[in-house]
Structure 1
């Protein structure tokens, strides 16, 4: 296990890095160098060539390390970190009984601390970008932007655009929603780390007018609309009763499908809906851990990959570990689809690794900003120790990163060329103080939130002998 030079912890560049291996879109490269300057990758290529072109820079040799793009979490809820375990063992559509009440009990301080805590977990797990799907807390969303800035993570920040009551803030006119959306997009124009997007909780939380208007605004602005779509059986059935159409079909009818839509989950898709996605360029956040913990099904991501449907990987706020997310993506496909037909590859390791980085950047609207190690893109990257018992005997590193990688092997996390995590600890703030304050505030918030759970905690259930039944 190779130690990083300590000077990398405090310097921001220019840097000429020569890691043992570099992960590029075309595959793993050896004897390559990367130049980081001004928060960007300035040069990527064979080490000898880069040294000749940049004689003024002293190379930093990093044997035993992989330089790879940071993970992109295509679907998160930053203001739900105080109650993550409240969802364990609960039936689907927990947003009605857990998340809406919990977020409704947040004030500005607790929303900030919740978001920064989530950002810290994400950074520790190798995520350099997180897409927040819009908070239901009654606070200015700039609270979340401040938390992301202070943590040093890139944030795709959604603004809830509901105009009917379901799923959070609603009961506004379409004109009021559109004006707020335009202000949100203008507010963060040009921000280095905060990228504004729009969000609708679920299709039934917005009128047809607003669904169409937000789609047009996002398309015209070069951003996305984040929306939970075809996630739970109950929501699909409500849409069939109300519209005679499934949620995705309803969005197609009102003109809301297209490259500007980032549909979260999409676990319940018919063959014709897969064709709709492929034909319209609509993007998906495939959230495999959420399917295991609180969902009805697993999205057919391997079929999406085969048909060229755009998708990234999202945690849904479950756990912030990029390698475990990539493993879950492959694992869920194998159990849900591959084993039944004898597909022993299920896309292979590189598919899930690519969609965890480049795919996530694409679907969140940041394909021209991050997700790859390439000149001109943001220097959002990881330095991963591959000289470990799990990875040193390597025959196929992309597969091994998916199956055997974990956050402990991430020695450093850089966002916009700055070191944000160094051996698991943040470089810009006191993690211990943050966690202590989060514990205090979470007790207060959960205590006053009208959360409704169908099961007791596991400790209570075990003590009462009800663990097996309930």
Structure 2
């Protein structure tokens, strides 16, 4: 039987996997094997020692492959997948004109399809965990949980619980408590609370959601210091910048996941370091519609917790880590003569282990280690891009792409084989998504500031 056939990797195991290399928390090692059993890594160590310790198992040799932790998307919007190019060329703060009306036009069936489509894209890109920052669609969150669960990806599922518009603080907190309890023991869906921006909730609700999340071991996701307009609104309203305001009201702490955090003062960096709050560094979003790039290299140096997020832009884990390093090089490295900019490993580490920690899942996923969930990738390192490497981590960062991912495994189960999901029909989902997205966008009252690329070309007079 072909050792690279999916049949050798299906089922809960136990499987004794012997790749050419394994990406451990301390770095890349060769000659190691990994035991996958009951959804977790049962053992990791030298291949000969594991073969001796488990003589009843037939080793599955994986020549030309690297076993590495799956990528963790620390910031996504699952129900925005129908929007895609609607955001291209748009100025910052498009959520009012594009995302709010788009999500408001979703019904439960279209929200399910949108979320499952986003999960499919994420799995194809090597993500084994994705954090949804909360939807504005008026649907039961069980719809999104079902979509991600059926796709086979691990999901941090955010519930929006602001009270600024409704004035119903008690109702917001009651819904928050119910959401945290509903998914408290789900193996793949982990509850989170979400406040779109600080001004979307009263000071009391910001404090209370922080306390609820901390008690539940969950995170509160808030878009913080993302755009100049948001910083200025906070200064006018509170006399404080958004992150400073969260600290002022008692909402800053290890339970906070500050999305974007691109516009930070030295004082705000100190607040993050002192309180243990985490950040989702979203470099592609900065390039596509942002005002700035988060100072992630400085965060790494100061021990500030952070993961990498796509913001729903594109779901390719290797392109994300390249963007993370590239953005730091352009905004900080070139000006200071820093030719390393994290030495490659920094961005790979924060794309997996760092992201899991930022999401409150550091004890469960993000690393290949005994007792951790078996969320991992098998990457073909025999390709022309990687086979001649003298430094595989750097090569993965600079030259890796999702085409080199042979398989994606979540909770020990094979979820994706050579870009195709196992056990369900991706083509049928895409066809349904095309049809539903057309109708959803037609109903939504979306306002764009920028024309389509074709219309822009015509306006420019280009021949």
Structure 1 residues not aligned, in runs of 5+? 166-170
The aligned residue for residue 115 of structure 1 is 115
The aligned residue for residue 373 of structure 1 is 368
Q: For residues 412 and 443 of structure 2, what CA distance do their matches in structure 1 show? A: 41
Q: Evaluate the alpha carbon distance shift between residue 209 and residue 32 of structure 1 in structure 2; reply closer, same or farther with a 3 A threshold.
A: same
Q: Taking structure 1 as the reference length, what is the TM-score of the superposition?
A: 0.97
Point out the more displaced range, 6-15 or 266-275: 6-15
Q: For residues 35 and 226 of structure 1, what CA distance do their matches in structure 2 show? A: 34
Deviation at 1:278, TM superposition (A): 0.3
Question: For 2:274, which of 275, 279, 286 is the aligned residue?
Answer: 279
The aligned residue for residue 105 of structure 2 is 105
Deviation at 1:334, TM superposition (A): 0.3
* Structural mapping, 1:404-443, within 5 Å: 404-443=399-438
Three-state SS of the structure 2 residue aligned to 1:82 is: coil
Three-state SS of the structure 2 residue aligned to 1:348 is: coil
Three-state SS of the structure 1 residue aligned to 2:137 is: coil
The aligned residue for residue 204 of structure 2 is 209
Q: For residues 110 and 462 of structure 1, what CA distance do their matches in structure 2 show? A: 33
Q: Contact between 2:9 and 2:15, CA under 8 Å: does it hold in 1?
A: no
Provide Cα deviations, 1:286-344, integer angstroms capped at 9, x if missing partner: 00000000100000000000000000000000000000000000000000111011100
Structure 2 residues not aligned, in runs of 5+? none
The aligned residue for residue 85 of structure 1 is 85
Q: Contact between 1:80 and 1:99, CA under 8 Å: does it hold in 2?
A: yes
TM superposition outliers: structure 1 runs of 4+ over 6 Å: none
Q: Contact between 1:9 and 1:422, CA under 8 Å: does it hold in 2?
A: no
Three-state SS of the structure 1 residue aligned to 2:83 is: helix
Question: For 2:452, which of 457, 460, 469 is the aligned residue?
Answer: 457
Q: Taking structure 2 as the reference length, what is the TM-score of the superposition?
A: 0.98
Q: Contact between 1:461 and 1:467, CA under 8 Å: does it hold in 2?
A: no
Q: For residues 96 and 448 of structure 2, what CA distance do their matches in structure 1 show? A: 11
Three-state SS of the structure 2 residue aligned to 1:368 is: coil
Deviation at 1:463, TM superposition (A): 2.8
Q: Contact between 2:196 and 2:223, CA under 8 Å: does it hold in 1?
A: yes
Q: Contact between 2:90 and 2:289, CA under 8 Å: does it hold in 1?
A: yes
Q: CA RMSD in A?
A: 1.2
Q: How many residues align?
A: 462
Q: For residues 289 and 167 of structure 2, what CA distance do their matches in structure 1 show? A: 30
Q: Evaluate the alpha carbon distance shift between residue 84 and residue 357 of structure 1 in structure 2; reply closer, same or farther with a 3 A threshold.
A: same
The aligned residue for residue 124 of structure 2 is 124
* Structural mapping, 1:233-272, within 5 Å: 233-272=228-267
Q: For residues 257 and 187 of structure 2, what CA distance do their matches in structure 1 show? A: 22
Question: For 2:345, which of 347, 350, 359 is the aligned residue?
Answer: 350
* Structural mapping, 1:89-238, within 5 Å: 89-165=89-165, 171-238=166-233
The aligned residue for residue 168 of structure 1 is none
